[in-house]
Copies of this chain bind each other. A is one copy, B any other.
Amino acid sequence: MTASPRRSRDVPLLVERARAGDARSVARLITLVESGDPLLPEIAAALAPHSGRAQVIGLTGAPGVGKSTTTNELVRALRIRNYRVGVLAVDPSSPFSGGAILGDRVRMQDHATDPGVYIRSMSSRGHLGGLAAATPAAVRVLEGAGCDVVLVETVGVGQAEVEVASLADTTLVLLAPGMGDAIQAVKAGILEVADVFVVNKADRDGVDATVRDIQGMIALGERGPGEWRPRVVRTVAARGEGIDDLVAAIEKHRGWLVEHGELRRRREARAAAEIEAIALGALRDRLGSLRSGTSLAALAARVADGATDPYAAAAELLDQLDRSAGR
C-alpha cells in the first residue's frame, strides 16, 4: 500500500502514520503542502488537533554567516535535551526543494540517521507567496509528527526572510564580524523581528565592534516596560562554542513569551495572517472563474476602447462577484 494519498480518505491514514513517526509519510505530507495540493484543506483539518505544541524557532542571516552549522549544532544541543526536532530549510530564491540536501547542508547529515530529527529543504518553486503559505502548513506537519521544536532556517536577509521569521515564536538573527550585516539588518527591517542576535564566528577579528553595533541598535529601539529586549549571544558554531548560551537565551525568551501572554498573541497573529492568505487565494480563484465567463472579456473590450477605465471596470466586476456570491 502506498503512502501517497490519491483520494481524501487516504489523508487520515497518512497523518496517522506521520504521527506514528513514519519519516516517509512526513516527507510526503510536506511535499503535498509545498505543492499546494488540493488535499491541503483536509490535511490541515486532520493536523489541527495536534498543532500548537511545538516551539517554532526562526533562524535567518546573510549567506556565509554560518546558518547551517549553527542549525546543526542547535539540533545537537536540543537532541541532548531529548527534544524531537524538525528543521525546515527555506530558500525563497532556490529552485531546489523536496528534501534535497543542499551543498552547504552537508553537515546536517550528522543527524540524517537520527529518527528524532526531520530535515527538509523547501523552495518557493516560483509560486508567488507560495512559501508564505506553505511554511506554516509544513510546520504543522512537523508538529503533528511529534516535534517539540521546529527550526525554520531561511537563507539571506530580506523581505522574504522577515516574513518567514514572523512565523516563529522566537527569531534568531545570525551575523558574523565584519560583514556589515548590522546595517543590512536594519535596512531589511529585520531588527524589529529579532529576539536573539547570534554573532557567529566570534573568534574572528572585529567581533567586539559587531557586538557593540548590535547593542547600540538595541539600545536605540524603543520598548515599553516588560517588553523583550533582544539578547546578543556569541558563538563559534563550527566548534560548538556558545551553543549552550544560545539555547539558554532561547529558553529565556520562551519563558518571557509564556509569562507575558505573548506566545498566544503571536500564534493568533500568525493564524490570522494564514487565514487571510488562504481567503485571498480563494477570492483570486473566484475572479478566475469570472474570467472564463464573458463578463471580464466584455469589460476589457470597453477599457481597450477607452469607453471606461480599469478601475470602473474592476468595480463592475466586483459587483458581479458579489451578486453571484449572494445567490
- Report which A residues bind B (CB closer than 8 A): 40-41, 44-45, 47-52, 126, 128-129, 136-137, 159, 264, 267-272, 274-276, 278-280, 282-284, 287, 291, 296-297, 299-301, 303-315, 317-318, 321-322, 325-326
Pick from B51, B275, B309, B326: contact of A48, CB below 8 A: B309
Q: Would B51 and A275 count as touching, CB distance under 8 A?
A: no
Would A291 and B276 be within 8 Å (CB), given that A45-B312, A309-B44 are in contact? yes
* Residues of B with C-beta under 8 A to A311: 40-41, 44-45, 278
Q: What is the bound-complex CA distance between A201 and B270, given in angstroms?
A: 51
- Main secondary structure, interface of A, reads helix
Q: What is the bound-complex CA distance between A315 and B44, given in angstroms?
A: 13
Would A274 and B310 be within 8 Å (CB), given that A268-B297, A300-B269, A322-B326 are in contact? yes
* Further 4 A-B residue pairs, CB within 8 A, beyond A268-B300, A280-B283: A275-B314, A276-B296, A280-B280, A326-B326
* Residues of B with C-beta under 8 A to A287: 276, 279-280, 283
* Residues of B with C-beta under 8 A to A296: 272, 275-276
